[in-house]
Amino acid sequence: MLRTLLLILFLSTGCVTLETGTDEGCSDGEDNDGDGLFDCEDVDCRDDADCAVDDDDSGA
């Protein structure tokens, strides 16, 4: 029972991902966390400066 609770706790804490937390994790062309998504395609990188989306219509 304790093992099960610990496993649930571990899985629910959002295990540390390798896609973020490094300087190059969201711009190195690698699938650092093994989820099949690369760099800015990965939701873990949505707040990374390398993945910022230009939302204004100025085109600049």
pLDDT tens per residue, range 7-56: 776 776 554 444 444 556 899 999 988 999 999 999 989 888 888 876 66
Q: Where are the domains of the chain?
A: 16-50
Q: In this predicted structure, what is the pLDDT of residue 14?
A: 54
**Distance in angstroms (rounded) separating the CA atoms of residues 60 and 54:** 8
pTM, full prediction: 0.48
- pLDDT tier at 5, thresholds 50, 70, 90: confident
The string over 33-52, giving b where at least 16 C-beta atoms fall within 10 Å of a residue's C-beta and e elsewhere, is: beeeeebeebebbeebeeee
